[in-house]
Structure 1
């Protein structure tokens, strides 16, 4: 018997939906804030080593329909339906990630779901270590990262403070750079590791201007039965283009962010060896469901799109220019009479030691910010405080993306020199050594105002990726 035809009526679809209203009309207040930030980036000199300017193509992925989809699980094994296209997106990202770093898919796998670099690192620890296992990473004042096990000790209070979750859940003993050279002190590391016997040895950092001797780390790890992990977040773009040593040759696990020198969206990846130790299921389970919920597939699409660019000749030329620019600004600062930690750089960043000038990195960071020059205070080996360090970290990836070459970075060094001269004058006039008394002198200072104007004029000569000047609704700072 034939089924009866449905007699139910449906509503008439609306001609327009509220969700199709542009941000400018829907939320003018937020629209203006975003436009102001675009304007700030355009008219400023971005020198933070961990920042970069991603492409319009990546931004298109980030603002795509992929943000609507839950995709808990892995391609082909999701906990929700409707993921047939998303599976293709994630598989494409995985294959491009392995190809970009020249990895054999039979020997290496990759998880592209971490929300960023810190979650990626903690997922590795969760997967491969037991609570209270021992870990050794580069100390933060020596150029390491918080997630490598940093903690502090207060002599006044007599207490140890775990700054990162790594030092909360695992037993951390950081290693350091030499107080004389600023280079990894392998003699001390080897001696300490022999006593501490870490379950995992971590190499890689956030403020180390030299290349890494992975073979030496491998040797120390093998002597102590340690897993060897590299956090290559900062130098990921250099590794992919063979402009830095290859951690994959020696390490068991390699983690990375996807912004910084890779110039993609803000996300992370975990690479792992495929061997009898069975890293793959452990790491996948640690990422989800242990630590994260649904992966951000719009970010994963952005990673894949950027990895396509990473494999191009244009990107390789870009990374070479990043390194050339780092050398150029370093040489120019030395010509102005300044000191660089380790005497220079092999990569995309340098540490500017301001202790000989008698001014802290904290003060120069604040003053540069007022002049539309973005840097960050940073410890230099021998510093006692990470909150009031003696140096500044400078990176070249962002401005190189905007087309800056060596001559332009020498001009940037001149702006930095002017900043220090202004800072020294203000410091001498301040009623105390306190940072807040120093900052109070910024308002109404004509020399600082002139510097800011000069920086704005110089920076705005260069284009921005992602949007054009004509697309900005706000054009004054």
Structure 2
């Protein structure tokens, strides 16, 4: 098998992955050893963070475990080069190799998503969104996006964001059942007549209906932007419907589900009304200068991994495991925003109970489980407390666990959330037996399979 560079492909089997894992461990030890002499304070902090990651179970929906070759790519020294511009059109010398690296990332992004143009330079998903908005909109133009508390994102011209100082902004909200109400979106679009309609968000667990959004955009003469940061892996593997050819531009982060570095992409598909050349100028020089070429190399590694069959297997596990969590919560009488999930995410509605999202997330963290508080639609509590708990399964999918392990874990978390919602004990004492049961099982899951693919390869379905 060959990569798109024409070179033999690597890392396709468990043995190759095991070798990568051993090399990564060696590099980590070397790095810590260097810091021991030059910066012992930083070494201690790095060791603490590595220990924390290995001891805790990450159910944060906005992250995925970076693959070993992604971390190795970031350490190759490519970030040391300063060069603005694009391959073959740089403003600095010595760019032949990084030109090839960037072209490799571009071609892999296009192949993975079926795009005809890709910009791999954005330093984050938010930077990708902001570059697109500032490129597309003139002062006084308006954008219509999902309300932040209903699952939208700050970079979609949300009220607290600085973009609202320059552009008009309006927001659509979820329906009474917690799902997207396309009639309401259409009504808002007719009233606002936005230049840009955005779809996608950070806390919406259901499928995005891209064709219907395109119909609304066409009706009011708006360009359609799709942000797939949270579902990019599911989109890439066909588990979630593609935004192409409906969206004029598609943005994504590369770390939330693609197992890449913190960075972003802007993609254009066939039929887009936005020229690729304009898109590139919006990123550079329009919004940022020198890209981080270590990050670009790491993006290339992540995109290459996502093209492999093992990644598709893992994304199937992501969606299936999320369904097991949804089943566990509903079986305990806990309400879910949207009533369930089609993605990697479940959003638990705690508004009827005494526990807040902040309380539950803190109790879970006490026993080594990371999940975050989150606003829910029409949340009666402030953002510092919230009435929602957001759980994601991206990390679980790359651990050596099966459906039975995940179901037991989900039931344990659901039991604890239900007990806390009823006013049960929230600290380490016999008043909260669900806490102790869950702590034991979470520790077993972590010890049995934390980051299993670093040495063993993605578990079989």
Per the TM superposition, whether the score is higher than 0.5 is: yes
Instruction: Classify the secondary structure of the residue corresponding to 1:218.
Output: helix
Q: 1:450 to 1:403 in 2, by over 3 A?
A: closer
Determine which of 372, 390, 394 is the counterpart of 1:393: 390
Aligned to 2:136: 128
Instruction: Classify the secondary structure of the residue corresponding to 1:460.
Output: helix
Normalization by structure 2: what TM-score?
0.86
Aligned to 1:12: none
**1:135-176 alpha-carbon deviations (Å, 9 max, x no partner):** 00111111111111221xxxxxxxxxxx11232321110101
Q: CA deviation at 1:409?
A: 1.7
Q: CA deviation at 1:359?
A: 1.9
Contact 2:248 2:274 in 1 (8 A): no
Aligned to 1:109: 117
Q: Distance in 2 between matches of 1:399 and 1:462?
A: 9
Q: Distance in 2 between matches of 1:142 and 1:390?
A: 12
Aligned to 1:423: 420
Q: CA deviation at 1:236?
A: 0.4
Q: Distance in 1 between matches of 2:173 and 2:421?
A: 31
Unpaired runs of 5+ residues, structure 1, are 1-18, 152-162, 430-437, 470-477
**1:207-259 alpha-carbon deviations (Å, 9 max, x no partner):** 11110111111111011110000001010001111111110120100000111
What does 1:31-430 correspond to in 2, within 5 Å? Answer: 31-103=43-115, 108-151=116-159, 163-178=160-175, 180-273=176-269, 279-384=275-380, 385-420=382-417, 423-424=420-421
**1:124-145 alpha-carbon deviations (Å, 9 max, x no partner):** 0111111231000111111111
Q: 1:90 to 1:81 in 2, by over 3 A?
A: same
What does 1:435-446 correspond to in 2, within 5 Å? Answer: none
Aligned to 1:435: none
**1:164-221 alpha-carbon deviations (Å, 9 max, x no partner):** 123232111010100x211111111111211110000000111111101111111110
Q: Distance in 1 between matches of 2:343 and 2:314?
A: 13
Matched, 1:458 2:445: yes
Q: CA deviation at 1:337?
A: 2.3
Q: Distance in 1 between matches of 2:424 and 2:73?
A: 50
Q: Distance in 1 between matches of 2:32 and 2:257?
A: 35
Instruction: Classify the secondary structure of the residue corresponding to 1:70.
Output: coil
Contact 1:53 1:465 in 2 (8 A): no
Instruction: Classify the secondary structure of the residue corresponding to 1:172.
Output: strand
Normalization by structure 1: what TM-score?
0.83
Larger radius of gyration: 1
How many equivalent pairs are there? 424
Q: 1:280 to 1:454 in 2, by over 3 A?
A: same
Contact 1:149 1:174 in 2 (8 A): no
Contact 1:56 1:467 in 2 (8 A): yes
Instruction: Classify the secondary structure of the residue corresponding to 1:254.
Output: strand
Unpaired runs of 5+ residues, structure 2, are 1-30, 457-461
Contact 1:44 1:459 in 2 (8 A): yes
**1:78-120 alpha-carbon deviations (Å, 9 max, x no partner):** 11110000000000100111011123xxxx2111000010000
Contact 1:149 1:172 in 2 (8 A): yes
Q: Which moved more, 1:51-60 or 1:357-366?
A: 357-366
